[in-house]
Structure 1
Amino acid sequence: MHHARHTAPTLLLCLALGGPAACTAPDTEPPPAPAGLTAQAGSASTVHVMWNAAAERDGVTGYQVFEGDRLVRELPADKTMVDITGLTPQTGYAFTVKAEDAAGNLSAAAPAARATTLAAKAEDLRAPTAPAATTARATGPRSAWVSWSAATDDTGVTAYDVYQGGVRIHTAGPGESGTALGGLQPDTVYTFTVRARDGADNSSPDGPPVDVTTPPASGDGPNTAPAEFTATASPGAVTLAWTAPDTGRETSEYELYVNGKATTVIQFGAGAVPGGRAEHRLTVTEPTGTVWAVKLRARLPDGNWGAFSAERRITLVA
């Protein structure tokens, strides 16, 4: 709902000082309250709080998270989940979130989400087993559904965490076997993994990775991500292979990312540009046991970089 703003005195003053061009009414209208707020106890002392991202038109620049009436965290607009720590075991908590815009207007609080922390247990050093299977499918240009098989733990699984590119992006409850993910980009390959967590916050190893390609949004062109990307470690080397995207002409230049950072540009010379399956061998000097997360993207005919391939994790060998 849009509220009327009382700007008559301001209008008269700015007309006198600088004419109509100098008149800009102050922004006094708060953004909408965040939607989709949930709270999930992860251990005896932590609760994971999540909510839906604000629409771009709302102009949200950050969020304030409250436990009861107490402000516990402030986050930028691109963060829509947080772990609240240092809580008391077996205690009920109510969390709310407010959105803030560039003018400092705060929204109303989202309806409270409640969670009760778990009971404290004797020291638990054993992590759960990894979920044995992971599946996923795109449900639209900006959304996907990820599911997993149940894990086991000696004291009980308390949560499942979904990771993308080594970053946790969602937490689900212990009784859940799948979840919807939003906020994705169209025409992009995502690699998701799932870890189980117990009441002592011990995390399992990653379950098997699963790739999802979101479809193009209306009006978008063809998929620009390198497909069927693989990375294989051998003594002193890493071999990368992929299928070149269909960009309308030969794709001779690729940008390689290692552990989230651009590291090199792979270029194929004239007469050597792969039209289908491409391969490139890297010489490595890092110690045995070093873990790399690798992905790449192609230079498009318009000069821009295309969508990223799936990400692969490999362990270097001597």
Structure 2
Amino acid sequence: MRRVPPRTLLPQAACAAALLAAVTGCGLLPGGDAGAAGPALSEPVGVTAQAGSATTVHVMWNRPVSTTEVTGYEVFRGSVRVKELTAQQHMVDVSGLRATSRYVFTVRARGKDGALGPASRRVSVTTPAAVAADGHAPDRPGGLRGRVDGGRAVSLSWRKASDDRGVVSYDVYQGTTKIHSVGGTRTRALLTGLRPGTAYTFRVRARDAADNVSAASDPVRLTTARGPDEGAGTAPQGFRATTRRADKAYYIDLAWTAPQTGGDVPAYQVYLDGKQATTVMWGESAPKDKATYSFYIGETAGARHRVRIRGQLPDGTWGAFSPERTVTTGQ
């Protein structure tokens, strides 16, 4: 049976009636057909774009969540297709760009019939300023450390690398393959989607605006835990839930700190009394640190509710749940 996903709401547009419908079991999108065939090709998830230099951008994504066969991907800069890739490739460097320019990228999957699926979420990035002739690569990052976070994630941290013109990005390698990039102001990364009970070797390289790349850091070797545990480090931190009364009705106010993933957390799922009530989408305006969200819960005093949340990680998967909080209206 194909389940239709809960409705998705923007934080500023979440209305009381919509959430109340979700709470009472009617929060499914209209038009769902329980007897329909398997899912159609969906959009790639977890799309990110990171400036690698003044003229290059590194685009990464994860495969669509649908089970339909994917035969390839197409990467678009605005409405222009700039790359065609095989189904096994989930990252690419787009070069030949202009310095200090904003670009918007999307990715579409291609099915076995040759047709393209829907576009991914739009991700924007601004390339840094160009630099004069620069043949000096950054010093290699030092102090690389790693921590296993459950069976599917590891957290890496390192010391800031020095460069005469400034570091633009850090590239994370698994063996000899680049698997992740973060901005030059970041010195940590959360790598998800790993296999449980598996040994990995990671290194980090620094890159400047002229595309000079440092020597690799010393390696760090980590073995993920056995089992499917997502890892506590992927959960929202400091999660709090309180109630308040306004306009003769009650609301639940949520507050938390975004998990430190090395990238944006563009969406959060809110679970109320054990069931998903809504998905809060921020997209490009995702909070970097503190986040808040409020929703209508009803007009009855003394009603007791349980609430918890989880965030969407940069690779498109969902992280671990926050601790569950219990609130009572009117208290």
Instruction: Please state which band the TM-score falls in when normalised by the shorter chain.
Output: 0.5 to 0.7
For residue 175 of structure 1, report the CA deviation from its aligned partner: 1.2
Amino acid at match of 1:54: P
> Higher relative contact order at CA 8 Å, sep ≥6: structure 1 or structure 2?
2
Deviations 1:115-151 (A, max 9, x none): 1222221111111111111111222323221111111
Counterpart in the other structure of 1:52? 62
Alignment of 1:62 onto 2:72 = yes
Partner residue of 2:114 out of 104, 115, 121: 104
Structure 2 residue matching 1:96: 3-state secondary structure = strand
Counterpart in the other structure of 2:145? 135
Preserved CA contact (<8 Å) 2:71 2:110: yes
Partners of 2:66 and 2:120 in 1: how far apart?
18
Partners of 1:137 and 1:206 in 2: how far apart?
19
Partners of 2:193 and 2:182 in 1: how far apart?
17
Structure 1 residue matching 2:46: 3-state secondary structure = coil
Alignment of 1:76 onto 2:86 = yes
For residue 70 of structure 1, report the CA deviation from its aligned partner: 0.8
For residue 77 of structure 1, report the CA deviation from its aligned partner: 2.1
Give ranges in structure 1 of 5+ residues lacking alignment.
Answer: 4-26, 219-318
Counterpart in the other structure of 1:178? 188
Give the 3 Å change call, closer, same or farther, for CA 182–176 of structure 1 in structure 2: same
Partners of 1:192 and 1:99 in 2: how far apart?
29
For residue 190 of structure 1, report the CA deviation from its aligned partner: 0.5
Alignment of 1:202 onto 2:212 = yes
For residue 179 of structure 1, report the CA deviation from its aligned partner: 1.2
Partner residue of 1:43 out of 23, 29, 53: 53
Preserved CA contact (<8 Å) 1:148 1:177: yes
For residue 185 of structure 1, report the CA deviation from its aligned partner: 2.1
Deviations 1:63-119 (A, max 9, x none): 110011111111122221111001112221111101122222322111211112222
Partners of 2:150 and 2:68 in 1: how far apart?
23
Alignment of 1:154 onto 2:167 = no
Partners of 2:145 and 2:216 in 1: how far apart?
13
Preserved CA contact (<8 Å) 2:39 2:67: no
Deviations 1:252-275 (A, max 9, x none): xxxxxxxxxxxxxxxxxxxxxxxx
Preserved CA contact (<8 Å) 1:30 1:101: no
Deviations 1:173-222 (A, max 9, x none): 1111111112322221101000111001111111111011012236xxxx
Amino acid at match of 1:95: F
Give the 3 Å change call, closer, same or farther, for CA 186–109 of structure 1 in structure 2: same
Preserved CA contact (<8 Å) 2:169 2:183: yes
Structure 2 residue matching 1:176: 3-state secondary structure = coil
Structure 2 residue matching 1:62: 3-state secondary structure = strand
Amino acid at match of 2:212: N
Deviations 1:18-66 (A, max 9, x none): xxxxxxxxx9964111122111111121111112233472422221100
Partner residue of 2:125 out of 115, 132, 145: 115
Preserved CA contact (<8 Å) 2:45 2:65: no
Amino acid at match of 2:163: D
Partner residue of 2:226 out of 216, 220, 229: 216
Give the 3 Å change call, closer, same or farther, for CA 59–171 of structure 1 in structure 2: same
Give ranges in structure 2 of 5+ residues lacking alignment.
Answer: 5-36, 229-331
Superposition RMSD on alpha carbons, in Å?
Answer: 2.2
Amino acid at match of 2:162: T
Structure 2 residue matching 1:36: 3-state secondary structure = strand
Preserved CA contact (<8 Å) 1:191 1:209: yes
TM-score w.r.t. the length of structure 2 is 0.55
Structure 2 residue matching 1:37: 3-state secondary structure = strand
Preserved CA contact (<8 Å) 1:31 1:105: no
Partners of 2:134 and 2:66 in 1: how far apart?
43
Partner residue of 2:154 out of 132, 144, 163: 144
Q: Which has the larger radius of gyration?
A: 1
Partner residue of 2:201 out of 191, 205, 223: 191
TM-score w.r.t. the length of structure 1 is 0.57
Structure 1 residue matching 2:149: 3-state secondary structure = strand
Partner residue of 1:87 out of 79, 97, 105: 97
Give the 3 Å change call, closer, same or farther, for CA 105–139 of structure 1 in structure 2: farther
Preserved CA contact (<8 Å) 1:62 1:74: yes
Partners of 2:139 and 2:91 in 1: how far apart?
25
